[in-house]
Amino acid sequence: MEELIDEMIIGKIRSLMVKFPEIIGYDRKLRNGKIRVYTSKSEIQNITVKSIKVKGKEIPIEFFYIGNVRALGD
């Protein structure tokens, strides 16, 4: 069973989404101890944040490129 991330972490990821619009989503469960973040661009060198610190503990971020997500009307 993967652990659900708490609202404090979600708040921090949401702040990153505002700062870096290429971050378009994230998983609410930790995957192998990492926060899974989805991006719309494959080139993410400008995103220098590699982990989120919560209660003194650094949780690494794993970036997954999926591209933009669109509603599927034709």
42 contact partners, CB below 8 Å, separation of at least 6? 65
The answer to whether 68 and 50 have CB atoms below 8 angstroms apart is no
Q: How many residues bind another protein (CB under 8 A)?
A: 22
Q: Would you count residue 10 as binding another protein (CB under 8 A)? A: yes
d(CA 1, CA 46): 33
Which amino acid, residue 53? K
Q: Which of 45, 55, 57, 71 binds another protein (CB under 8 A)?
A: 71
Which amino acid, residue 38? Y
Which window, 11-19, 43-51, 52-60, contacts another protein (CB under 8 A)?
Answer: 11-19
Q: Would you count residue 28 as binding another protein (CB under 8 A)? A: yes
Q: Which residues bind another protein (CB under 8 A)?
A: 4, 10, 14, 17-18, 24-29, 36, 38, 66-74
